[in-house]
Structure 1
Amino acid sequence: MTTHEGAFFFGYGSLVNLSTHDYADAHPARARGWRRAWRHTQLRPVAFLTALPDPGSTIDGMIAHVPGDDWSALDEREHAYARVAVPDDIDHPLPHRIDVAIYSIPHDAHGRPDAAHPVLMSYLDVVVQGYLQQFGEAGARRFFDSTSGWDAPVMDDRESPVYPRHRLLAPSERDFVDAELRRLKVRIIDQHPV
């Protein structure tokens, strides 16, 4: 695979699942000084992941090249976030320095999820499928363990997925997600209109 100098993003949620985008030159990477958390903003009706500065934490994710350094399509997809430059916080396998950005909800623009703004199971499934594909079961378990906010309710929308980039999980992937949610004692709620 050819590497490119220029702009890269660090994805730590659905962007880890390479089937949800067509950004090339993708590589596993680690972000130092960041942690993941479930949050809600007024810009979206449901909860989703954000990256929060945390000097003692490191999270796995994927970097991928942004062609022509044209951020417009990715900024539109990630519209509830601010794009933050973090070039020195990312450990990656490329042999040269790259410019990296991470999407993070601004500190004063988010709150904790609740039953009216739950985590979508269809979104969580996509994220975990990506971690299973890129980092194996151990890496997917690290995703669960390095993400805060599991007191958020998860709405089971698997039968009628709300998340626009939902994916069908293999039975083993679905079993893994369900087992981790049980392990963390996550509250599952029935689907309601979003």
Structure 2
Amino acid sequence: MQDAYFFGYGSLVNRATHVFDDAQAAHLRGWRRIWRHTDLRPVAYLTVVPEEGSEIDGLIAPVPGADWPALDAREAAYIRAPAAHQVRHALPHAPEIAVYTIPDGHHGAPTEAHPILLSYVDVVVQGYLREFGEAGVTRFFETTHGWDAPILDDRAAPRYPRHQVLSGAERELTDLHLARLGPPIIAAQE
């Protein structure tokens, strides 16, 4: 693909976690975001699954040098799915666009043994806040399924490899939405 782009819907929305130039806001139709666990990773991650009528916010960015293998390595638990016809964006042309998804049948619900990391949620929320404002954060929580999964509070010693420093207001925003949704929060063992 000469004009290759990807659609990011989780940590890739946070520009501090990558160096992809020219990323811009976009919207993906026909998919919904969900927290899932795969045997390829010890903790739960976001993925997307097909769902007619759904739409999620995210970013699109060109794949540097159309080097899919480098991006595939970052997204090792996922496969690439074509999504160009499902992405609404402001580009003046129609590039090829892919979205990363965990293959059907290769993921399950998070568990206490394989929880969601709070440091990962924080990174995603920070990205949505910077790109889409507080309304975008609200949409992120509302359009993401699986909030009944256990969340490991690892803020004191973040386990997410691309964790970021958050302001008090950013942490409070995450905490406010989590309190509303009520997932079980597990204290990290030191």
TM-score of the aligned structures, taking structure 2 as reference length: 0.98
Runs of 4+ in 1 over 6 A off after TM superposition: none
What amino acid does structure 1 have at the position aligned with 2:175? D
- AA at the equivalent of 2:34: A
Q: Give the structure 1 partner of residue 18 of structure 2.
A: 21
Amino acid across the alignment from 1:29: A
SS at match of 1:186: coil
Over the aligned positions, Cα root-mean-square deviation in angstroms equals: 1.0
- Aligned pairs, number: 189
Structure 1 residue aligned with 2:129, among 128, 132, 135?
132
- 1:51 partnered with 2:58: no
TM-score of the superposed pair, with normalisation by structure 1 = 0.96
Q: Secondary structure at the match of 2:28?
A: strand
Alignment equivalent of 2:138, drawn from 141, 166, 169: 141
Residue 163 of structure 2 corresponds to 166
Question: 1:1-194 to 2 correspondence within 5 Å?
Answer: 6-192=3-189
* Percent of pairs with identical residues: 57
Deviations 1:32-77 (A, max 9, x none): 0010000000000000100110011000000001111111221111
Give, in angstroms, the shift of residue 192 of structure 1: 3.9
Return 5+ residue gaps in structure 1 as ranges. Answer: none
1: CA distance between counterparts of 2:170 and 2:24?
A: 22
SS of residue paired to 2:105? helix
Equivalent position SS for 1:80: coil
Q: Which runs of 5+ in 2 are unaligned?
A: none
